[in-house]
């Protein structure tokens, strides 16, 4: 969800104003994904690197996250959305952590859209933590290192149990991954749009999805193999 700061600056406003407007886009995109029957939506709301921003902006963002979740939780629940969190949640201010935990608890039985909020998230940290977990199990004799495979590694990531993303959308004209789901994005289709996040609405999501539908996902195979198999896979 990039471009909030630039969007605000272009309007002569403080960067935080862009984050407030960005919440309206979050609302609309979550609604649209639910309506479309999309199973999983991950929002990169705050990276570990974002802690290095000016304290006033970080504080405002944390307050915004708390007030947004507090306000939206009833509607999210009504819409059968299940909230999940990934990231270094211990580093969050207690008020933010508590509110997020509450959202997780309230929506735990919902069966619609899985909304994964990446908060204080770093893909490198996640991968290192997974390696540490497996190494500890091996050192304690609970795991044979020879048995470590992709499946086991994936089960040690914070996204264990979630499917790999099929499409990654980055707004605001930057062509980078910025430490987001580095392992999980191995075969994702990447979509970049110049639209700043506060302007990114349903219409832009549909454009991204249409673009995705026009792509051929070969997963290392050749085009003819994919075409001859089409119709045989759900």
User: Helix 55-78 vs helix 94-106: angle between axes, to the nearest 10 degrees?
Assistant: 10
**Residue nearest to ligand FPP according to CB distances in the complex:** 5
The correct pick among 16, 17, 23, 81 for binding ligand FPP (CB under 6 A) is: 23
The correct pick among 41, 65, 85, 168 for binding ligand FPP (CB under 6 A) is: 65
Q: Does residue 4 belong to the site contacting ligand FPP (CB under 6 A)? A: yes
The correct pick among 32, 66, 86, 117 for binding ligand FPP (CB under 6 A) is: 117
The correct pick among 68, 107, 114, 184 for binding ligand FPP (CB under 6 A) is: 68
Q: What residues numbered 86-115 form the site for ligand FPP, per CB under 6 A?
A: none
> Can you list the pairs that 43-46 forms with residues at least 24 positions away whose Cβ atoms lie under 8 Å?
43/1, 43/115, 43/116, 43/117, 43/118, 44/1, 44/118, 44/121, 44/178, 44/180, 45/1, 45/117, 45/118, 45/119, 46/87, 46/118, 46/119, 46/120, 46/121
Would you give the binding string for ligand FPP spanning residues 41-60, x where CB under 6 A is met?
Answer: --x-xx---x----------
If the CB atoms of residues 61 and 208 are measured against ligand FPP, the closer one turns out to be 61
Q: Does residue 122 belong to the site contacting ligand FPP (CB under 6 A)? A: no
State in angstroms the smallest separation of the CB of 213 from ligand FPP: 26
**How is residue 217 written in tokens?**
């996902």
If the CB atoms of residues 47 and 130 are measured against ligand FPP, the closer one turns out to be 47
Specify whether the CB–CB gap between 86 and 130 falls below 8 A: no
Residue 173's CB is within 10 A of a number of other CB atoms, namely 13
Interaction site with ligand FPP (CB under 6 A): 1-6, 19, 22-23, 26, 43, 45-46, 50, 61, 64-65, 68-69, 117, 172
């Amino acid at each position: 969800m990039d471009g909030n700061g630039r969007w605000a600056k272009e309007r002569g406003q403080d960067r935080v104003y862009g984050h407030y407007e960005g919440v309206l886009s979050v609302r609309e995109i979550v609604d649209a994904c639910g309506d479309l029957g999309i199973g999983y939506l991950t929002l990169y709301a705050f990276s570990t690197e974002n802690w290095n921003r000016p304290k006033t902006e970080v504080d405002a963002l944390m307050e915004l996250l708390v007030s947004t979740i507090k306000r939206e939780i009833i509607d999210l629940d009504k819409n059968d959305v299940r909230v999940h969190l990934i990231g270094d949640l211990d580093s969050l201010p207690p008020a933010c952590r508590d509110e997020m935990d509450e959202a997780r608890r309230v929506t735990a039985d919902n069966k619609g859209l899985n909304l994964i909020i990446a908060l204080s998230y770093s893909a490198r940290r996640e991968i290192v933590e997974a390696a540490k977990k497996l190494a500890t199990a091996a050192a304690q004799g609970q795991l044979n290192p020879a048995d470590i495979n992709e499946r086991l590694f994936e089960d040690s990531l914070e996204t264990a149990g979630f499917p790999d993303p099929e499409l990654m959308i980055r707004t605001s004209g930057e062509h980078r991954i910025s430490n987001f789901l580095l392992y999980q994005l191995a075969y994702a289709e990447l979509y970049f749009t110049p639209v700043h996040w506060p302007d990114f609405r349903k219409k832009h999501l549909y454009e991204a999805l249409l673009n995705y539908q026009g792509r051929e996902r070969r997963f290392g195979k050749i085009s003819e193999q994919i075409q001859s198999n089409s119709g045989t896979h759900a």
